[in-house]
Amino acid sequence: MESTVAQKLEAIHNLQLLDSRLDAILKVRGALPEEVQDLEDEIAGYNTRLEKFKFEIDSFDDEVKALKASIKDSEKLIKKYQEQQMNVRNNREYDAITKELELQDLEIQVAKKKIAEAGARIEQKKVDLEELTAIMKDRQKDLDQKNNELSTIISESESEEAKINNDRVKATKKVDERLLKSYEKIRENAKNGLAVVMVKRGACGGCFNTVPPQRQADIREKKKLIVCEHCGRILAGVEDEITPEAPVKKKRTTKA
């Protein structure tokens, strides 16, 4: 059996009340969840940079090892050429060996220069690594503190939040699918999370714009779904303002 408009309004209004209670719980947490997430992202970025520094240091170390190996090879060749130079038969062979010796000597000088440059880069990377590690430790302390604060707040409202979420699942099943989609869309765009409101003191409970008397009468009848013409929120009903009765003044009797 299809639900009446009044039943649909009651179901969607009940869902809004549950969501508002959840919003209030999340509001108590404030910006802590976002701050925790930001710190986690920041630390993850630092970890990526640390890994990059370590990789670069390892690369420079490998380069230094390769250059030192090339120096040893050049030194072996120099020794070999020097021995050959002692047994040359003519000036042409002597000049050729001399050029090879000069070339190997130049190779050694270039390699030593590159080793010095790589060493300087390694030292700088180590300094950067230490500085970044120190920053990372400080941010980790901040993260631990924020996490502790958030855990404390969550633990205080954990059981209540679980119950509301459980009730919300049940309440959602009672809401028409198309109406639920509209509700979620309105709620997503609403700053205060209100998609379903009551008319209070002649005004929309969401945007506080005046609702005409005839429209209020239609809302009271609950024969059709009516939305605020200003903000688009669903108007679930009209709350009549109860005026407290004025106290009866007692007449003072005067003695003759």
DSSP state string for 55-67: HHHHHHHHHHHHH
First to last CA, the chain: 76
* pLDDT at position 247: 58
Alpha-carbon gap, residue 89 to 95, rounded angstroms: 11
Mean pLDDT of the chain: 91
Asked if 199 and 205 count as a contact pair (C-beta separation under 8 A), the reply is yes
133-181: pLDDT as tens digits? 999 999 999 999 999 999 999 998 999 999 999 999 999 999 999 999 9
Instruction: Encode pLDDT of 24-35 as tens digits.
Output: 998 988 889 999
Longest alpha-carbon distance in the chain:
159
Q: What is the pLDDT of residues 111-133, one digit of tens each?
A: 999 999 999 999 999 999 999 99
Residue type, 3: S
Residue 254 has pLDDT above 60, yes or no: no
Per the structure block, which two tokens stand in for 170? Answer: 């049940």
3-17 pLDDT, tens per residue? 799 999 999 999 999
Mean per-residue pLDDT, 207-218: 95
Comparing C-alpha atoms, which of 108, 6, 129 is closest to residue 58?
129
Q: With helix as H, strand as E and coil as C, how does 199-211 read? A: EECCEECCCCCEC
Contact 195, 231 (CB under 8 A): no
**Structure token pair of residue 181:** 């989609």
Contact between 25 and 168 under an 8 Å Cβ cutoff? The reply is no
